[in-house]
Amino acid sequence: MAFIPHTPDDIARMLEVIGVRSIDQLFDEIPGELRAGALGVPPALSEMEIGRLMTDRAASDGRPLNFIGAGAYEHHIPAPVWAIATRGEFYSAYTPYQAEASQGTLQLIYEYQSMICALTGMEVSNASLYDGASALAEACLMAVRANRAASSRRILLPRAVNPTYVQVAKSIAGNQGIVFETVDFDRTAGRTPLESLQPYNGQDVTALVIQQPNFFGSLEEIDALTDWAHQNKIMLIAVVNPTSLALLKAPGQWGARIGGMQGADIVCGEGQPLGVPLAAGGPYFGFMATRMQYVRQMPGRIVGRTLDTEGRPGFSLTLQAREQHIRRSKATSNICTNQGLMVTAATIYMSLLGAAGLERVAAASLQRTADLAAALSRVAGVKPAFTAPRFHEAVLLLDRPVAPVLSALARRGIFGGLDLVDRYPELGHALLVCATETKLEADIDTYSSTLADVMSPSRAAA
């Protein structure tokens, strides 16, 4: 019997102790008319059989050459990361409720929180949220609690923020009366201009969201945007790519120092680039960091360092009075289980790379994307869309609809990027591409020559 250790003798002796004749009798409190009949699910497979099935299905999905980013990035994952993260002691433990028997997980989360603080330039981090998109939703809800200067529950969401994040924020935070207002981007530069915020000068607004780099890969003028927000008593929520923070200014240092305060108020983002595989979309993890003064408004678990009864340092879950199991309907969020194993992987990843390694990953990704954009722009009918400096993504404009081009590339084993037509119809035939350090010069050549072939006049005519 699959995973059931009981022998017939065990069963007989256990039934005798319980004082029933059969296992079925243990279900005699369920009214007879509710009892289920035979389940319409397939019979069991052995491990060998399921292995064959999964291997075949995986093989049918293949291993295409990928140039899509758009919120999930293909980076090299060092071999130790998952070799250690999948050790049973991490993989099969649960939330560290019993601190003394969970010091490994707790210390690791404390180290993780420290690393996220270091990357973002913030004072406190939580132990993770589900993913980048839902982390933004939680950040919006947190801003409503934390910004005592505003009562409008209005949040400004630039169109240059990942459109799926916007959708998720609306699905999750929309039930609590939060109003999202759209801020446009500059069609030439591909970033959010200060002028687009002018209509909100002096108004009651809860928060402004800035994504750096933004969805197009462009770098926003974060100092000016942050200062504008703070001058108007608006909280700044930064959505950032953790890899980019090895090169780019930490959100804690954005803008000018005003009254002893500087930088973003809440920082969140998608942690996937830190050692988590693409895996068809998940599991990933969301990270969140803030100022110490807002820590009690932050959702999710937090680990603190304290002392045991003998004065030795140790780690435990802390500030639990914010959480659902204590505060119930008054909790900061309903989140309980988070993405612990992904945090384990990310902590190992950050330890192996360090600041120097992560900086090289960021620089190489930036370089590869620059090379890619240049190579593809040399193809007839392709040109870059925006002028702003960028990180590791670029928008290209094609002289024809993008979808058929991507299909033709996919048939030749290349995932050529993301068609932006549904998300940004005003851009025309726009394609979002990404290359990370995993792409070799030869890969970029393959893509550009295949694209040239796919878009060649002879083929278009055919």
Q: Where in 180-219 is the site for other proteins (CB under 8 A)?
A: 219
How many Å apart are CA 139 and CA 142, to the nearest integer?
5
> Smallest distance, Å, CB 424 to other proteins?
15
Q: Judged by CB under 8 A, does residue 318 bind other proteins?
A: yes
Spatial CB neighbours of 54, under 8 Å, sequence gap ≥ 6: none
Query: Is-contact 285 130, C-beta < 8 A?
Result: yes
Helix (H, G, I), strand (E, B) or coil at 316: strand
Q: Which is nearer to other proteins, 14 or 261 (CB)?
A: 14
Query: Is-contact 349 81, C-beta < 8 A?
Result: yes
Choose the stretch contacting other proteins; rule: CB under 8 A; options: 133-141, 227-235, 394-402, 453-461: 133-141
**β-bridge mates for residue 335, sequence order:** none
Q: Where in 345-384 is the site for other proteins (CB under 8 A)?
A: 347-348, 350-364, 366-368, 370
Q: Exactly one of 8, 41, 259, 425 binds other proteins (CB under 8 A); which one?
A: 41
Q: Exactly one of 149, 151, 176, 203 binds other proteins (CB under 8 A); which one?
A: 176
Query: Is-contact 134 335, C-beta < 8 A?
Result: no
State how far Cα 449 lies from the chain centre. 32
> Smallest distance, Å, CB 398 to other proteins?
18
Spatial CB neighbours of 462, under 8 Å, sequence gap ≥ 6: none
Choose the stretch contacting other proteins; rule: CB under 8 A; options: 147-155, 226-234, 407-415, 449-457: 407-415
How many Å apart are CA 168 and CA 116, to the nearest integer?
23
Q: Which is nearer to other proteins, 136 or 229 (CB)?
A: 136
Count of residues that interact with other proteins, criterion CB under 8 A: 200
Query: Is-contact 414 446, C-beta < 8 A?
Result: yes
**β-bridge mates for residue 334, sequence order:** none
* The token pair that represents 204 in the structure block: 């009651």
Which residue is associated with the tokens 């019979």? Answer: 43
Q: Which is nearer to other proteins, 57 or 461 (CB)?
A: 57
> Smallest distance, Å, CB 12 to other proteins?
11
Which residue is associated with the tokens 């703070």? Answer: 230
Q: Judged by CB under 8 A, does residue 145 bind other proteins?
A: no
Lay out the site mask for other proteins across 259-278 (x = CB under 8 A, - = otherwise): -----------x------xx
Question: What does DSSP assign to residue 148?
Answer: T
Q: Judged by CB under 8 A, does residue 170 bind other proteins?
A: yes
Q: Exactly one of 158, 243, 340, 393 binds other proteins (CB under 8 A); which one?
A: 340
Query: Is-contact 455 431, C-beta < 8 A?
Result: no
> Smallest distance, Å, CB 204 to other proteins?
21
> Smallest distance, Å, CB 193 to other proteins?
16
Q: Considering only CA atoms, which of 417, 132, 392 is closest in space to residue 288?
A: 132
State how far Cα 166 lies from the chain centre. 13
> Smallest distance, Å, CB 278 to other proteins?
5
Q: Which is nearer to other proteins, 128 or 192 (CB)?
A: 128
Cα 437 to Cα 75, 225, 443: the distances in Å are 7, 30, 11
Q: Where in 276-305 is the site for other proteins (CB under 8 A)?
A: 277-285, 292, 295, 301-305
Q: Considering only CA atoms, which of 319, 210, 305, 310 is closest in space to residue 267?
A: 210
> Smallest distance, Å, CB 453 to other proteins?
19
Query: Is-contact 236 254, C-beta < 8 A?
Result: yes
The dihedrals phi and psi of 350, each to the nearest 5 degrees, come to -65, -35
> Smallest distance, Å, CB 277 to other proteins?
4
> Smallest distance, Å, CB 359 to other proteins?
7
Choose the stretch contacting other proteins; rule: CB under 8 A; options: 225-233, 341-349, 375-383, 449-457: 341-349
Q: Where in 70-129 is the site for other proteins (CB under 8 A)?
A: 70-72, 74, 76, 78, 80, 82, 84, 86-105, 107-108, 110-111, 113-115, 117-119, 123-125, 127-128
